[in-house]
Amino acid sequence: MTKIILDPNGVPLSVGEEKRFFTPGQRKALLVRDRGCIKCGAHAGRCQGHHLHHWADGGPTDLDNGCLLCTSCHDDVHHHGWDIIMGFDRHPWLIPPASVDPKRRPVPSYHRRTMRLDDTAA
């Protein structure tokens, strides 16, 4: 038996630890939240779902444990000292390696770093 958590519209958001890959509904939700690679901003079509707490180590396949990363940035996270945490705002935050920031201060995901207010709005 597999536990599945659905949103109000019946879209699967959590399939627990038994399923490794994000469902199409979860991927759409990640796309809405992350808009693309959280590290470099690459188009979502070039991205993979990444488990913040690795699935092999018991991390669940759900939105609070997932984010979008392109192949290159996925490699940085797995092999070059980058970490990702889920922030208090339920958005992923990057923690650079000490070689980039000795204090390893968290930074918001790419599209949250590059947001601009629309000063032309009425």
Instruction: Indicate the average pLDDT of the chain.
Output: 87
Burial (0-12, 13-18, 19+ Cβ within 10 Å), 76: middle
Question: What percentage of the chain reaches a pLDDT higher than 90?
Answer: 66
- Look at residue 48 and tell me whether its pLDDT is greater than 60: yes
Q: DSSP states of 70-103 as a string?
A: EHHHHHHHHHSS-EEEE-TTSSEEEE--TTT-TT
For residue 39, give the amino acid letter. Answer: K
Q: Is the confidence at residue 120, as pLDDT, over 80? A: no
Model confidence at 117: pLDDT above 60: no
- Give the residue among 40, 41, 36, 38 at the shortest CA–CA distance from 52: 38
Q: For the domain with range 5-113, which CATH number is right: 1.20.58, 1.10.150, 3.30.200, 1.10.30?
A: 1.10.30
The pTM score is 0.81
Structure-token pair, residue 99: 């070689």
Average pLDDT over residues 61-71: 95
